[in-house]
Amino acid sequence: MATTEWAHTTVLLKEAVEALDVQAEATYVDTTFGRGGHAKRILAQLSAQGKLIAFDKDPQAIQTAQALNDPRLEIRHQGFAALNQLAPNSVMGVLMDLGVSSPQIDNPERGFSFRNDGPLDMRMDSSRGQSVHEWLLEAKTEQIAQVIRDLGEERFANGIAKAITARRDAGQLPDTTLGMAALVADVVKTREPGQNPATRTFQAFRIFINGELEELQQALDASLQVLQPGGRLVVISFHSLEDRMVKQFIAQHSREVYDRRAPFAAAPVLPLRALGRQRPSDEEIKANPRSRSAIMRVAQRLPYEKEFA
C-alpha cells in the first residue's frame, strides 16, 4: 500500500540558515529535522569536512533524513533534549524549529488536527508513550483542566475538563479528533474569528503529551554547553509559551546585571549576546499562512569567562 507524501513548507528557511552564519568546515545541529528543509540548506553550505547532526522523534522524519544518504549528516532518532549528549564546545550552530510539521498536521492518522478525523493520538513519536486518548482515560478532572489552562491558555478549561470526564464516566469518551473537537465546541461558545473552538485545547494536549516545554528548556540549557565561542543559537517558535521561554532564556544569559551592593564591581561575564528577532515577511505569510505566528530569535555564544582572565 502506497503512503501519501504530505507536503511541508519550511518557515523562515533562508533567514534561519543565514542567522546560523554557516562555516563550511564546522559542525551544526538541527534539533528538529522534520522534512529536511533547513537541513538541506545547511548541507548545501558545508564542505566535505563539515557535519550536520539532526535530531527528530518522528520515525517518518528519520526515514526522510536517511534517504538523503549524505555522509556529512548524522541522524539521531531522539528528541532535542538529547542535545546534552553532545560533547561540550563541539558545534558552531544550533537550530531549533519548534512546533508541528505540516505532514504531521495534515496526516489524519497522527491525530494532531481537527480538520480531518483521525485517532486522538498527537504523539511526535508514535512508537512510544501514551496517546492523548490513553491519558484522558485515566487523568483526573483537575489535571486535565490544569493542562488545558496552562498550556492552551484556555479560559474555558474547567468546563472542558468536566465535560471530558463526564463523557468518560458515561463510557462515551471520544477517541477521534473530530469527536473531541465537537465535545470542546459544545463548551467553548465564543472564540476569536476564524479560530476553531478546539484550537487551544488541542495545542495544550499536544504540548503536554510530548513534554514539549520541558524538552525545550533542557535543550536551551544544553546549547550553552555545546556551542563553541562565536556559535549561533537560532530558535523558531510558533506560540507564546515557547517564545516566552526562548526570550527569557536569552535575556537571562545576555543582560548585564549590576549588584547595587557593589556598584563599582565589574559585571559578570555572561555567555550569550542577543542578536535580535525576526518574523516572516508578508510575502511568506501569504504563500504559507501557517508561518504567520512564527518568531525567530537569535543569540551568539560569547567566549568563556576564563578567556577574559
Per-residue pLDDT of 135-151, as tens digits, reads 999 999 999 999 999 99
Judge whether residue 266 has pLDDT over 60.
no
For 151-161, what is each residue's pLDDT tens digit? 999 999 999 99
Question: pLDDT category, 187, cuts 50, 70, 90?
Answer: very high
Mean pLDDT within 176-200: 89
Q: What pLDDT does 104 receive?
A: 61
Which triple of cell numbers denotes residue 65?
533524513
Judge whether residue 9 has pLDDT over 90.
no
Contact 49, 22 (CB under 8 A): no
At residue 70, the 3 state secondary structure works out as coil
Which residue bears the cell 485545547? 201
Q: What pLDDT does 259 receive?
A: 52
- In the chain, DSSP finds a helix count (H) and a strand count (E) of 12, 7
Q: What pLDDT does 304 receive?
A: 62
Which triple of cell numbers denotes residue 9?
513548507
Beta bridge partners of 51: 27
Contact 80, 31 (CB under 8 A): yes
Residue-by-residue DSSP string for 198-264: THHHHHHHHHHHTTHHHHHHHHHHHHHHHEEEEEEEEEEE-SHHHHHHHHHHHHHTTS----TTSTT
Judge whether residue 85 has pLDDT over 90.
yes
Q: Which of 39-53, 209-223, 261-275 has the lowest mean pLDDT?
A: 261-275
For 87-102, what is each residue's pLDDT tens digit? 999 999 999 999 766 5
| Structural domains present in the chain | 13-102+212-308 (3.40.50.150), 125-209 (1.10.150.170)
> Rounded to an integer, what distance in angstroms lies between the CA atom of residue 160 and that of residue 166?
10
Judge whether residue 8 has pLDDT over 90.
no
* pTM check: above 0.75: yes
Beta strands in the chain (DSSP E): 27-30, 51-55, 73-76, 91-97, 227-237, 272-278, 295-301
Q: What pLDDT does 262 receive?
A: 57
Mean pLDDT within 211-215: 93
Average pLDDT score, the chain: 88
